[in-house]
Chain A
Amino acid sequence: MVNVRDIKTAVKIGSLVLKNPVMPASGTFGYGEEFASFVDYNLLGAIVVKGLSLEPRAGNPPPRIIETTGGMLNAIGMENIGVHAFIKEKLPFLAQFNCAVIANVYGETVEEYQKVAEILSGAKGVHALEINISCPNVKKGGIAFGTDPDTVHDITGKVKQATNLPVIVKLSPNVTDIAEIAVSAQDAGADAVSLINTLTGMSVDIISRTSNIANLTGGLSGPAIKPIALRMVWEVAKKVSIPIIGIGGIMSPEDAVEFLIVGASAIQVGTANLINPLATMDILEGILAYLEVSDIMDIKDLVGSLKTERPREE
């Protein structure tokens, strides 16, 4: 059996090397301050912070969340402190850890994406950008950008021009053919794609006959979406050669391993953080244990190892 300390877990995203494939998903980890008393960030592959826009955004009115079977709906509405306050007030705290910082970028126009990317590129301590073209909870921008291959190509190309940092494009599942969008991002120079963002959904209070979310619709996350996310990662893996970061309902190490098998090089833990602040650590530990008992010396050997033909029964 292999020794757990000898297992290679490093993952490459463009020019950035992550020491392991585990990171939190944007929007479930704040700007990193709250979880610092639970999680040793030095052990994580990366930290992904809440989406940043050029100016601060107040977000949607409450109620913003509702529990649903096997998950939850949210419509936060991209509340954030804005890119300048992030760099000044939050980034110095994150810089003390031996851990890559991935800044999630949000804009209402192509120019805003470009501008935010440019500002973050000039900040010390940001190691990669994740471009959120898939937020389902804001009226303008977001999802509209993420559902059209030509627009995705345009934004990705313009952001690439504005930065030297590796660019990850975060894809929306609310499309007919997610692989087509992923190919567009790759063609425009994306260093990686991350998927999936939340699925647009609804929940209704039958007494008052109102939506349980003030925004009327919200984004569904949690274990309920995992099978869809796995299928989409698998579809995208067949079409692109850049690394894929798998996201969607990962609650356990076994869930994470499923994503690696269908073709994700790394994974993001999202909603699980909200019910267990230690989820990222527990999942990382469990992935290592799986590699150890499976005699896998390098995590790369697991990525995309799905057998599509069932073994013949003897």
Chain B
Amino acid sequence: MMTVCKAVAAGNVASNRELIDGHFLMNVKLPLSLERPLPGQFLMVRIRGRREPFLGRPLSVYEFQRHVKNVTCEFLYRVVGKGTQFLSQLRLGDAVDVLGPLGRPFEIYPPNRKIVLIAGGMGIVPMTYLAGHYRSSGAGRNMKIICYAGAQNADALVGIERMQTCSDTRISTDDGSRGYSGLVTDLFARDLRTYDPRETAIFACGPRPMMKQLAVMLKDKSFPCQVSVEERMACGVGVCLGCVTAVKDDWGKRQYKRVCKEGPVFNIQDLIWD
């Protein structure tokens, strides 16, 4: 007999402030029953009782903390559409419904690997949570973590402060206003030959063109590389088949996989980028 136990967690906004233009840091207080998300997993966040936005929005976790009476979950997000616009208007005490943790997490490698994180724009969010996971787990404490973080300009590098405390962070901006001038994939490409595929694991999250570029760079190399992809979602739990992305199956045949269920983490060589 199945145990019917899962429910939607009722949360309250503890803070929701704009860090720089269009970028918000939201802290949500949630019941202790909410499991700790694994790196790469996401939560569906919906404003309670609202007909607009209608669907929940999948959000990556920036920070998760367990306290005596509750847990707090931090989200860092950029306003890109109607859903995030409404989220940005939430105030202290506002009620949100949270479903999760959802999705396939990153596979965490043993500590003999050097960890390379590549983050474009808001891709910094799951990369920061992943770096924190390595740092707080006993075995990962002494691992070498190198993060390549890119954004359009210096202002849009919002959120890299935490990454800087736990990794060797190398910065690029499209307009050269901070760090290397150019794409984050170009910055990484300059260092690529210094990494040994046998002792390096690559994780990446960012806009689709960035990850496509990375896939091209790594095509004939044997680095293990996991990426977290984004797609519009409705249910977040695998029933609506709305969030699929094209992947190659074991025989190289094209098929669709659900980003919310078989993803959001995929091996980069399995993804089809057309």
Residues of A within 8 A of B (CB): 27-30, 34-41, 50, 58-59, 61-72, 74, 76, 79, 96, 222-223, 271, 273-278
Contact = CB atoms under 8 A, between A and B. Distances in A.
Contacts of B8: 276-278
Interface string B26-45: 00000000000000000000
Interface stretch (B14-22, B52-60, B130-138, B180-188): B52-60
Nearest to B54: A67
B256 A58 contact: yes
Contacts of A72: 54-55, 234
Contact of A63 (B232, B237, B261): B232
Contacts of A63: 231-232
B221 interface: no
Contacts of B238: 30, 34
Contact of A278 (B7, B55, B82, B231): B7
5 contacts: A27-B241, A29-B239, A30-B239, A76-B240, A273-B239
Nearest to A43: B4
B55 A67 contact: yes
List the 4 closest pairs (A to B, CB-CB), nearest first.
Answer: A65-B242, A30-B239, A274-B235, A274-B234
Residues of A contacting B: mostly? loop
Contacts of B193: none
Contacts, number: 108
Nearest to A97: B2
Nearest to B4: A40
A202 to B, nearest CB: 16
Contact of A39 (B4, B231, B254): B4
B88 to A, nearest CB: 17
A62 B233 CA distance: 11
A64 B6 contact: no
A29 B5 CA distance: 18
B256 to A, nearest CB: 6
A86 to B, nearest CB: 14
B6 A37 contact: yes
Contact of A275 (B5, B46, B244, B245): B46
B234 A65 contact: yes
B256 A79 contact: yes
Contacts of A67: 53-55, 82-83
A53 to B, nearest CB: 14
Contacts of B237: 34-35, 277
A38 B97 CA distance: 15
B6 A76 contact: no
B6 A38 contact: yes
Given A29-B239, A274-B55, A38 B234 contact: no
Given A70-B51, A72-B54, A74-B240, 9 more contacts: A34-B238, A38-B4, A67-B82, A69-B52, A76-B241, A96-B1, A273-B239, A275-B55, A277-B99
Nearest to B255: A58
Nearest to A37: B6
Chain B CB within 10 A, most for which of A38, A59, A96, A275: A275
Given A58-B255, A277-B8, A64 B242 contact: yes
Contacts of B244: 59, 62, 64, 79
B243 interface: yes
Contacts of A37: 2-6
Contacts of B52: 69-70
Nearest to B233: A65
Interface in B192-247: 231-235, 237-246
Contacts of A61: 246
A293 B233 CA distance: 38
Chain B CB within 10 A, most for which of A40, A65, A222, A271: A65
Given A38-B7, A273-B239, A277-B8, A59 B256 contact: yes
Nearest to A40: B4
A25 to B, nearest CB: 11
A74 B234 contact: yes
Chain B CB within 10 A, most for which of A35, A50, A96: A35
A62 B246 CA distance: 8
A93 to B, nearest CB: 10
B245 A62 contact: yes
A275 B2 contact: no
Contacts of A62: 231-232, 243-246, 256
Nearest to A29: B239
A314 B66 CA distance: 62
Contact of B241 (A59, A223, A273, A275): A59
A34 B99 CA distance: 13
Contact of A64 (B1, B4, B241): B241
A67 B56 CA distance: 10
Contacts of A69: 52, 54
Contact of B56 (A74, A222, A273, A275): A275
Contacts of A222: 54
A236 to B, nearest CB: 27
B158 to A, nearest CB: 23
A50 B241 CA distance: 10
A65 B5 CA distance: 29
A37 B237 CA distance: 11
